[in-house]
Every structure is written in structure tokens, then in C-alpha cells.
């Protein structure tokens, strides 16, 4: 269990918090390019790490993230006019470019140099891996973009979607590194586990190996023939997962909106070929990695207000939960804990070693950064070139199966 103090440290992400400082030293996936579809398109609200921002794409196509409140009198720049390489506040006409410089101040005398003294808070942006990213940390320490395999493949090889999860980022992320729950929560039929034979071991042995990018952990299950079934899951700083399985692979990024809401990026990709229409359609229908959600609000259709559309008859005859969709099943559990769970009330067991590892890595990093250290993962994007893996093996140790499958764990895609 975590102490109350450590739980506060882990879950609070606003300005000035230790964990907020950790996240601000990484590039963070903020939006989909489709949310800013073309130059001078409509600005959009973007809340991230507790900061209210407005994102806009200027006349050249460059994306800017600017403070929500105009530096003049505080009116929201969301209502601004996106025109001629800048966002103009409609209250008094002050206009700002993507770097925050005030480029026009029409309600001041023409001879005034006042606009040169005014600058809005803005953050750098980058377009990478089918997403628009933001960096909110010190300018001198701007990190490298993470070279995760799904970011390196062509657009035709991946599908990326974003929705809002009504819970703290850590609570949401912990579900992806909990391999033992798939034998229960995601059971597709009462007599089968996740579509596999009912003989599957429901109490996997979990082993963790920490790395510079986070950790890899293995869930080892005993097979009937004496061999082992391994699921090797990757967890990468500060909040990424790659879920084991066969291609196309899937995973998530859990970007804190604030302490109690999370922007979840779900992706599915194939390293070697374009996704088929059927593979894309599975994502769109909420059958893979992404729930069904309202495209305007990005809020899931199945949510706490309607009990995630639980069907008790389905629970008796079709699946373990009576809830449709893997993502919806996960959300029902993590949101049911409350926005931020009191982790000092937990009773953790051997199946929770990866969850414990994630907390340990993040808390230790927050402490080291408070002492002046910098995350290794932020300074070298190449260390993110890893894969998750599902395999059968005679190896009974995590190190052994990692060595046996070294090539499969390292992404083969190369940048130009």
C-alpha cells in the first residue's frame, strides 16, 4: 500500500507539484491533428496538467498552445479570431502569434511600444506519430520525442484515437499493467478466459525488470503441456503502455488533464503493413483499445452515469461483466474506485508487482528530479524502441525469456 503522503505525491499533477514537474520534462501527446484540421481552423480548448490552454493552427500550419486568458484583461482566447498568423482576442483586438508575442494592439496609439512589453504564455508543439505534442518544461531542457514503434510507422500502419477518462491518470494506467485481471474482467464466456481454453492459469507469476525507459514485466502462466505462456508488457515513462498480443499491437498513453481527469490516447498499429479496413473498423466500433465515445465531447457513451450500460443477462450468458467492450470494462473498474483512490486502504498481493513497480519508478523519479536530476528517458528518444510480446517458452525466468526473444522486443523500424 502507499502512504497517504505518497498517494498525494503520485496523483497530484498541477503546477508546482513534484509529479507535475516530472511530466513537464517530457513531450506530451495533447491532440489529434484532426482537432486542428487546417491553417486558421477553429481554436480548441486544451486542458493539460491542470493548465487551461487554447490550441490553434496558424496560417502557415504551425500549432500554438497559448494560455486561455488573454494577458490584457483575462478574456478567454478560445473565442478569438484565428487569422493571418495569429490569434486575435475579440474583446479588445490584441493579437498573439504561436510564440506568444503580441503582434498587434489596435486599441493603443500607433506610436506606442506597449505591445513589445506584453507576452502570452505559450508552449512548443510538435507533430509526431499521428498526434500533436506539447512540451511544458524548461526551454533549455527540451527533450527528444519518444521513438515508440507506433510513432515511427507510416500513417497507413496505425490508427490513433483520443477520449476523456473520468479518473486520475495513475488509476487508469494501472489497469494496463495488471495482467492477472484479464482472466476475470475480460472473460468472454463463463467457461472460457479471454477467448482461451478454461485450463488457462488464473494466477500468473509476475516478474519485473526496470529499465531506463521504465520497466518490462512478464506474466508467466503454466500451460497444460508443462511449457509456459508469457505476456511481456512494456511500461514507458511517464505513462505509456504496449499491451502484448499478436500484430496489430495496441496500447495507451494516459495524459493528465488535471488530478481527476485523463486524456487517453489509444493506438493500434502494424510494423510491417498498412492496417486493413477491418482492423480499423474494430477500433471505430469500440472493440479494440478505444471505447465508443461522443466525437464532440470525447466522453465515452458507456459511463458512470448509466452504469456503463451493464446488461445483467449478458453477464449470465455472454461475458463475465455484462459490459460491452474491453475499454468500457476497464473504465468501470477504475472509475468505480472514485476520482483518486485512497491507496493506503489497499491490500496488495503478488499479482500487483507491476503496479507497485510503476508507483516506485514515478515516486523515485520525482524525488531525484527534486534533487536536480533529469529523466534519462527524456534525453534519448531511441530507448523507447521496444515491443510487447506474447509467446510460449520453456524458460521460467523473465531474464531468460527476454534473452530468448531479444530481437522481438526491440523495434525494427528505423527513422530516416
End-to-end CA, the chain? 45
Instruction: Kindly report which listed range (3-7, 38-42, 288-292) carries the lowest average pLDDT score.
Output: 288-292
Predicted confidence at residue 199, as pLDDT, reads 42
CB 80 within 8 A of CB 66: no
Q: How confident is the model over 94-122, as a mean pLDDT?
A: 94
361: β partners: none
268: β partners: 159, 250
- Tell me the C-alpha to C-alpha distance, in Å, between residue 73 and each of 52, 54, 68, 69, 76: 16, 16, 12, 8, 9
Instruction: Report whether pLDDT(27) > 90.
Output: yes
Instruction: Report whether pLDDT(416) > 70.
Output: no
Instruction: Kindly report which listed range (95-99, 254-258, 379-383) carries the lowest average pLDDT score.
Output: 379-383
- Distance separating alpha carbons of residues 324 and 269, to the nearest angstrom: 23
- Distance separating alpha carbons of residues 318 and 348, to the nearest angstrom: 30
Most confident of 21-35, 234-248, 283-297: 21-35
Instruction: Report whether pLDDT(415) > 50.
Output: no
Instruction: Report whether pLDDT(202) > 80.
Output: no
Find all residues with CB under 8 Å of 341, minimum gap 6, and list them. Answer: 168, 171
Find all residues with CB under 8 Å of 401, minimum gap 6, and list them. Answer: 218, 228, 230, 232, 391, 393, 395
Instruction: Report whether pLDDT(243) > 90.
Output: no
Instruction: Report whether pLDDT(191) > 70.
Output: no
Q: Could you tell me which of 74, 112, 118 has the C-alpha nearest to residue 97? A: 118
Predicted confidence at residue 200, as pLDDT, reads 61
Instruction: Kindly report which listed range (11-15, 204-208, 290-294, 368-372) carries the lowest average pLDDT score.
Output: 204-208
**276-334 tens-digit pLDDT:** 999 999 888 877 889 999 999 999 999 999 999 999 999 988 888 999 988 999 999 99
Instruction: Report whether pLDDT(45) > 70.
Output: yes
Please identify which residue in the block is written with the cell numbers 490569434: 87
- Distance separating alpha carbons of residues 268 and 270, to the nearest angstrom: 7
Predicted confidence at residue 408, as pLDDT, reads 59
CA torsion sign, 348 to 353 to 359 to 365? positive
**193 band by pLDDT with thresholds 50, 70 and 90:** very low
Write down all domains in the chain, each with its CATH number in brackets: 27-141 (2.102.10.10), 149-409 (3.90.380.10)
**189 band by pLDDT with thresholds 50, 70 and 90:** low
Query: Which cell numbers in the block locate residue 359?
Result: 508507483
Q: How confident is the model over 224-236, as a mean pLDDT?
A: 89
Mean pLDDT of the chain: 90
Task: Please indicate whether residue 134 or residue 390 has the higher confidence score (pLDDT).
Answer: 134
- Distance separating alpha carbons of residues 39 and 134, to the nearest angstrom: 18
Query: Which cell numbers in the block locate residue 315?
Result: 453477464
Instruction: Report whether pLDDT(51) > 90.
Output: yes
Q: Could you tell me which of 64, 401, 94 has the C-alpha nearest to residue 230? A: 401
- Distance separating alpha carbons of residues 69 and 219, to the nearest angstrom: 48
Amino acid at each position: 500500500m502507499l502512504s497517504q503522503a505518497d498517494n498525494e505525491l503520485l496523483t497530484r499533477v498541477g503546477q508546482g507539484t513534484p509529479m507535475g514537474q516530472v511530466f513537464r520534462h517530457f513531450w506530451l501527446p495533447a491532440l489529434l491533428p484532426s482537432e486542428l484540421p487546417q491553417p486558421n481552423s477553429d481554436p480548441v480548448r486544451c486542458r493539460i496538467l491542470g493548465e487551461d490552454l487554447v490550441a490553434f493552427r496558424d496560417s502557415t500550419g504551425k500549432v500554438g498552445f497559448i494560455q486561455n486568458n488573454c494577458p490584457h484583461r483575462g478574456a478567454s482566447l478560445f473565442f478569438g479570431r484565428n487569422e493571418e498568423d495569429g490569434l486575435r482576442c475579440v474583446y479588445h483586438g490584441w493579437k498573439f502569434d504561436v510564440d506568444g508575442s503580441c503582434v498587434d494592439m489596435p486599441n493603443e496609439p500607433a506610436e506606442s511600444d506597449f505591445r513589445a512589453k506584453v507576452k502570452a504564455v505559450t508552449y512548443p508543439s510538435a507533430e509526431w506519430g499521428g498526434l500533436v505534442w506539447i512540451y511544458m518544461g524548461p526551454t533549455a531542457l527540451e527533450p527528444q520525442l519518444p521513438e515508440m514503434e507506433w510513432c515511427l510507422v507510416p500513417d497507413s500502419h496505425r490508427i490513433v484515437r483520443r477520449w476523456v477518462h473520468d479518473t486520475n491518470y495513475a488509476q487508469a494506467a494501472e489497469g494496463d499493467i495488471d495482467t492477472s485481471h484479464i482472466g476475470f474482467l475480460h472473460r468472454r464466456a463463463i467457461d472460457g478466459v479471454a477467448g482461451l481454453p478454461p485450463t488457462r492459469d488464473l494466477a500468473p507469476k509476475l516478474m519485473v525488470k526496470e529499465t531506463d525507459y521504465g520497466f518490462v514485466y512478464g506474466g508467466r502462466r503454466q500451460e497444460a503441456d508443462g511449457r509456459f505462456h508469457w505476456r511481456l508488457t512494456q511500461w514507458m515513462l511517464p505513462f505509456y503502455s504496449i499491451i502484448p498480443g499478436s500484430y496489430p499491437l495496441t496500447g495507451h498513453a494516459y495524459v493528465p488533464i488535471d488530478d481527476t481527469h485523463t486524456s487517453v490516447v489509444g493506438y493500434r498499429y502494424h510494423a510491417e503493413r498498412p492496417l486493413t479496413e477491418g482492423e480499423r473498423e474494430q477500433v471505430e466500433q469500440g472493440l479494440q483499445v478505444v471505447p465508443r465515445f461522443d466525437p464532440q465531447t470525447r466522453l465515452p457513451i458507456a459511463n458512470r452515469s448509466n452504469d456503463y450500460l451493464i446488461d445483467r443477462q449478458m453477464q449470465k450468458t455472454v461475458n463475465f461483466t455484462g459490459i460491452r467492450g474491453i475499454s468500457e470494462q476497464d473504465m468501470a473498474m477504475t472509475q468505480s474506485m472514485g476520482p483518486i483512490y485512497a491507496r493506503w486502504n489497499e491490500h496488495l498481493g503478488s499479482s500487483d508487482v507491476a503496479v507497485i513497480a510503476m508507483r516506485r519508478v514515478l515516486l523515485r523519479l520525482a524525488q531525484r528530479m527534486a534533487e536536480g536530476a533529469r529523466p534519462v528517458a527524456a534525453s534519448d528518444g531511441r530507448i523507447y524502441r521496444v515491443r510487447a510480446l506474447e509467446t510460449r517458452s520453456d524458460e521460467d525466468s523473465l531474464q531468460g525469456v527476454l534473452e530468448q526473444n531479444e530481437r522481438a522486443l526491440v523495434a525494427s523500424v528505423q527513422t530516416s
